[in-house]
A and B are shown apart, each in its own frame.
Chain A
Amino acid sequence: MTDNVSPWLEHGLSEQEYNLVLELLGRTPNYLELALFGVMWSEHCGYKNSKKQLKKLPTKGPQVLQGPGENAGVVYLGDGLAAAFKMESHNHPSAVEPYQGAATGVGGIIRDIFAMGARPVASLNSLRFGDLDDGRVKRLLNGVVAGIGGYGNCMGIPTVGGDLYFHPSYRGNPLVNAFCLGLLQADKIYKGSASGPGNIVMLVGARTGRDGIKGASFASEELSDSDRDKRPNVQVGDPFMEKLLLEATLEILERDLVVGLQDLGAAGLTSSGAEMAGRAGSGLFLDLDKVPMREEGMLDWEIMLSESQERMLLVVEPSKAAAVAEVFEKWDLLAVEAGLVTDDGNFTVRRGERVMASIPAELLTDKVPLYDRPQRVPDYYEKSKKADFSALMCHGDWAGLLKSLLASPNLSSRAWVFEQYDSMVGLNTVVRPGGDGAMLRLPGSDRGLALSSDCNSRYVYLEPRRGAAIAVAEAALNCAVLGARPLALTNCLNFGNPENPEIYWQFVKATDGLAEAAAALDTPVTGGNVSFYNEYDGLAIFPTPTIGMIGVIEHIGNRVPAGFPAGGLNVILIGESREELGASEAHHLLTGRDEGEVPELDLALTKRLINFLVAAAAGRLLRSAHDLAEGGLAVALAECCFPGDMGAAVTLDDGLSAAAALFGESQSRVLATADDASLDAVLDSLERYSLPFSVVGRTTDDGLLTVGHGSDTLRAKVSELKDAWSRALPEAAAL
């Protein structure tokens, strides 16, 4: 269908953007060319609504070998090794077809990693769903988890962790954020640039069909119930094909057969080709007659926009093309010479000798109009600061409340999820899923790599700037409690419609907080992804800037477990507890409300806490360390008891209400244990790092958890708590 009056409309461009195209190009684009502009200037590919804000983020540091702009960021780990890692969203496809949507999300991020020349060694995923009392949400959860497992397990890449939360705001628009990390030699980073005019552009992997056409622009629209027929064809993932593509690609990289490579993701050949040409400042052409097709009769724009999975573009010197083809043939994969690198700066699409489209590559990649959207403080912002905590303050049955919290959807055991993922393949998983973060050993090195993902979106909703900073601090602490120094982060910024000034305000504030925390904690942002338009029938999700953090421990033998390893150890609460019940999980559980002041965050103290934890691990001072998060001290104590079926006897003397002492969510706190012999050294060290602390009790091996607070006592059998904690999610998720 062509609309001669407003040709920009069907390509998702505004009239002003169309006029800009005319001005930049100096002529009227044909249909195909306009389609290329439409998709490259979409939010998904061009970041037109977010780029100005993303420039605030710190991206540099001595550890950063590759910052944002490539397929993935790369940081130096030590011993000549580097990690390529990135996180990406696949929210809208997962809402439509949860299994395939999640699976292809995993597949896409894996390709980003091996396109850097890295062998993928670990995945995480960060998931958000509506409440599980809705049958549709249960099907989404089951489908997404099965899809992640179905793809990752088949690839042989262990899924070692992640995070999962439920809130009604995600009911029609779940979040599926997939993180992947690969290892490579620091001096062998490959880039997605098409350099060297005369070099051959090869298209390898799967055939091209009408999969997910206009998926990139689909991602840039809100969902609603009436849209069923407008939706693009669901992309189906073929992890087996991707496994072959991975092995073949790593084999040609090992043999130095390619100049550059790029995976085909959103907007398929268009964005990959244009970005490869744009980065190198050269040009390239693709001949559509050479593209292996799965379906007949596809139009030029359909081929250019197809999001068929498991495809890559390679740039190869002519003398090496035959060797590349041979490797792909060994793996039963297609590899065709589909074009050439040129020196005219243009991204050109041909049919044989006929030119179908030719556009200066930089217009597509670097001339995207960037917007400062109008912002407005949302109505809810001031109102929600006030909260009535009487239900919590007057609860009294602290053991009962603890048990309910442990059995609540957001705090219950995640084993039902991660046991559906192969978390061990590769023989590198030293700390398995279920704790604060995971840890991998690094081949040929004594070091260990910590990984964690995090975001409490209730905090971000109520106080976007502080909430985003807390997400960074929390992810960093998750690495530090293991004994690893946080190194760098990637992110997935999931928000509603940025054209809504209130949503844009959330986005600006959240990126401010992200920038501030990343700078303060010396964890640069090496890449990530923005996902806007996460709304369903006009209701936006809670703003969710998910953080994926990695860290390194010098000697993996010094790693610190989260759980209490034995009875008779000193229990130390590090950090300052305040009368902070706002935005707490306990308040939400009792009232269903999201309100109150978000806990304070002192980034300087967080930084000192991280330094202490890293030093204490290196000095083997601690027997365990666990970060306090949702549910506060009481939940953290229970979680520390579970792995070894231990107990603890704790007395609190903090001048707070019992509710705040037990369930308040004051930030930057850690529950650690030390044996008597090293207690003095631990306390000395805490003082040196100027950290508030108190020795609150001892671990026991009687399987009882008792916490005294003034006249209040919480007393519970750990086995009963653990049973409630373990059973909740499988029961709630059962179809």
Chain B
Amino acid sequence: MTVKACVLVFPGSNCDRDNVRSWEACTGLKADLVWHKESSLPDYDLVIVPGGFSYGDYLRCGAIARFSPVMAEVVRLAGLGRLILGICNGFQILTEAGLLPGALSRNKNLKYICRDVTLRVENNKTAFTSRYAPGQVLTIPVSHGEGGYSCSPADLAALRDEGRVVFRYCAADGSVSPDDAPNGSLDNIAGILGRRGNVLGLMPHPERLAEEILGGTDGRALFTSILDALSGGPKS
């Protein structure tokens, strides 16, 4: 079957083309760029909400973008069980839109941080992570000024209990302590799943380390896992 994927473009998105390129490099498949003013989308199997600075990140990251016409379609497709992947600013938009719980706030050192970090795979039984091993330590870059995750105690309990914390910031040996979260995230949370398991939001950028020439390929399995899930490919 053909997998239909798209990457949204908001004014100020800047990882939109990167995601198209990385999706193609990892899966050999094309993805459409979809302008945020579209109010009717075909039934995409995968919608990537990319990183960047939608609307300049003015007021709050993602606060304005979530009112774009296309977001109603993203909510509709999520309801149909299609896969929605929000990376960095995309994660922020998905929380503002209510598709994921919690919020992202300023990094604890109040500075923008762009560097490789190590992540631990907390749940590999998802449509996004099946090609990773449980507990596997990944090297993936972060690049954000507002990536500190926070949520209510009730939401946190639910995220933990339902296995919806997918990635945590960790040390190189896989151990997790608060110092390993560059941005001060609650419980070292780097990526979470929505209640139905078809919406993933994460602050790190898997698309940036998915080709050897860029210095690593740990991000690649996220895209190939998605392809497996959508095409009924190999499952572990």
Contacts and interface: CB of A to CB of B under 8 A. Distances in A.
Q: Are A and B subunits of one complex? A: yes
Interface of A: 146, 149-150, 153-156, 238-241, 243-244, 331-332, 415, 418-427, 429-430, 432, 441, 556-557
Given A426-B18, A427-B22, 9 more contacts: A146-B112, A149-B112, A153-B114, A240-B58, A243-B11, A243-B56, A419-B114, A419-B115, A422-B143
Nearest to B58: A240
Q: Is the interface of B mostly helix, strand, loop or mixed?
A: mixed
Contacts of A429: 214
Nearest to B56: A240
B169 interface: no
A427 B21 contact: yes
Interface stretch (B39-47, B152-160, B183-191, B205-213): B205-213
28 contacts: A146-B111, A153-B53, A153-B114, A154-B14, A154-B53, A155-B14, A156-B53, A240-B11, A240-B12, A240-B58, A241-B56, A243-B12, A244-B11, A331-B11, A332-B11, A419-B113, A419-B115, A420-B111, A420-B114, A423-B114, A424-B214, A425-B14, A425-B208, A427-B18, A427-B21, A427-B208, A430-B213, A556-B213
A148 to B, nearest CB: 10
Contacts of B18: 425-427
The 10 A-B pairs with the shortest beta carbon distances in the complex, nearest first, are: A156-B14, A240-B56, A154-B53, A422-B143, A427-B18, A420-B112, A422-B114, A149-B112, A419-B115, A424-B208
Most central of A238, A239, A424 by chain B CB within 10 Å: A424
Contacts of B213: 430, 441, 556-557
A427 B207 contact: yes
A239 B12 CA distance: 9
Contacts of B115: 415, 419
B57 interface: yes
B101 interface: no
B103 to A, nearest CB: 20
B84 interface: no
B143 A424 contact: yes
Given A238-B56, A421-B114, A430 B11 contact: no
Most central of B21, B52, B113, B207 by chain A CB within 10 Å: B52
A432 B21 CA distance: 20
Nearest to A429: B214
A195 B56 CA distance: 35
Contacts of B112: 146, 149-150, 153, 420-422
A658 B152 CA distance: 63
A155 B207 CA distance: 18
Contact of A240 (B55, B111, B143, B208): B55
Contact of A424 (B52, B53, B56, B114): B114
Interface string B45-63: 0000001110111100000
Interface in B205-230: 205, 207-208, 211, 213-215
A243 B53 contact: yes
Interface of B: 11-12, 14-15, 18, 21-22, 51-53, 55-58, 111-115, 141, 143, 145, 205, 207-208, 211, 213-215
B141 A424 contact: yes
Contacts of B111: 146, 420
A78 to B, nearest CB: 18
Contacts of B14: 154-156, 243, 425
Contacts of A156: 14-15, 52-53
A518 to B, nearest CB: 32
Contacts of B21: 427
B64 to A, nearest CB: 10
Contacts of B55: 240
Nearest to A240: B56
A146 B110 CA distance: 10
A423 B116 CA distance: 11
Contacts of B15: 156, 425
Nearest to A559: B213
Contact of A154 (B12, B113, B205): B12
Nearest to B113: A419
A427 B214 contact: yes
A156 B207 CA distance: 15
Contacts of A155: 14
Contacts of A244: 11-12
Contacts of A149: 112
Contacts of B143: 153, 422, 424-425
Most central of A332, A422, A423, A429 by chain B CB within 10 Å: A422
Contacts of A239: 53, 56
Contact of B56 (A154, A421, A423): A154
A685 B198 CA distance: 59
Nearest to A149: B112
A238 B11 CA distance: 13
A430 B212 CA distance: 10
Nearest to B145: A153
Contacts of B141: 424
B146 to A, nearest CB: 12
A422 B208 CA distance: 11
Most central of A154, A244, A331, A415 by chain B CB within 10 Å: A154
Nearest to B13: A156
Nearest to B16: A156
A708 B145 CA distance: 46
A317 to B, nearest CB: 27
A241 B58 CA distance: 12
